[in-house]
Amino acid sequence: MKVVNALTVDVEDYFQVSAFEGCVDRDRWDDYPLRVERNTRRILELLEKRGVRGTFFVLGWVARRCPGLVREIRRAGHEVACHGYGHQRVNLLGRTAFRDDIRVSKALLEDLTGEAVLGYRAPSYSIAHGTHWAFDELAEAGYRYDSSVFPVRHDLYGIPDWPRFPFLLRRGTERWEPVPGESPILFGGESGGDLVEFPITTLSLFGMGIPIAGGGYFRFFPYGFTKWGLNRINSGEGRPFVFYLHPWELDPEQPRMAGAGAKSRFRHYLNLDKTQARLVRLLGDFGFGRLRDLLDAPA
């Protein structure tokens, strides 16, 4: 029997990514051709063929312009969660603006779906040691879980010394800390102000955390290595993994951004033509479900 892993989709468009924030004026986002609806529906069709349900972290900006898409995601049985409003990194927003961002987005998504939004994922996984106040704001806004922590070293994100698998997150005397030895299962009872953290899963190899479960890493590594590593997590460690991707990663025909640096172009455009075929293989090789369902599973 396949382990049920979490399939997550960050619903944003190609011009909204952090890699292009230096060459794209966010005040002119409306001038760019919108491709997120078509690309997200492509993912929905692939998931429907496999009978897979996942969690879609939807950007508030997208939800306001494509309300029918949000309703379509929910009608298909997927979980709708929050990706913030304008895809601004937490450390660049600041606390007051972040508070408004997560509350406005949550309310918008809840109005469209008619149910509570439980989960949040920061743009570019930008909750790190310097922005622990974000967890305070999430808990106070009524979120039950977060999926913003990437336990790796990276120039834009990462908390490399935090756990690789889901954990309970509690406010300490100075900052939020993982709670060792406690189950992250909170549904059916009171959370007591705690959050469940669903970090992006890494592969432990040679004492290092290798980012293997999605995004640019899914496009960079050969599929055979990805499958081997994820199987090792499921079978060798007996744990589910959290996988992520973006709708624009299935769109090799998307417009190219003028003025982007070489590193940004490499990260964004690498192997876009291979993503869909690899995703189809992934859906056949592993079992998937929604993040909120993992909270009900045995620890």
pLDDT grade for 186, boundaries at 50, 70 and 90: very low
Mention every residue, 6+ apart, whose C-beta is less than 8 A from residue 258. 23
Predicted confidence (pLDDT) at residue 260 exceeds the cutoff of 50: yes
- C-beta atoms surrounding 162 within 10 Å: 18
Q: What is the mean pLDDT of residues 195-216?
A: 91
Quote the pTM value.
0.93
Token representation of residue 235 = 């079978």
For residue range 5-35, list pLDDT tens digits in order. 999 999 999 999 988 888 899 999 999 999 9
Predicted confidence (pLDDT) at residue 187 exceeds the cutoff of 70: no
Across all residues in the chain, what is the average pLDDT?
Answer: 90
In DSSP notation, 243-294 reads EEE-GGGG-TTSPPPTT--HHHHHHHHTTGGGHHHHHHHHHHHSEEE-HHHH
Backbone angles phi, psi at 79, to 5 degrees: -85, 135
Report DSSP state, residue 175: S
Nearest to 169 by CA among 201, 192, 141, 190: 192
- Any alpha helices (H) in 94-220, and if so which ranges? 95-113, 133-140, 215-220
Radius of gyration of the chain (CA): 18
Scan for tokens 């959050």, then name that residue. 195
> What burial class does residue 67 get, using C-beta atoms within 10 Å of its C-beta: 0-12 exposed, 13-18 middle, 19+ buried?
middle
For 276, half-sphere exposure in the C-beta direction (CA atoms, 13 angstrom radius) is 15
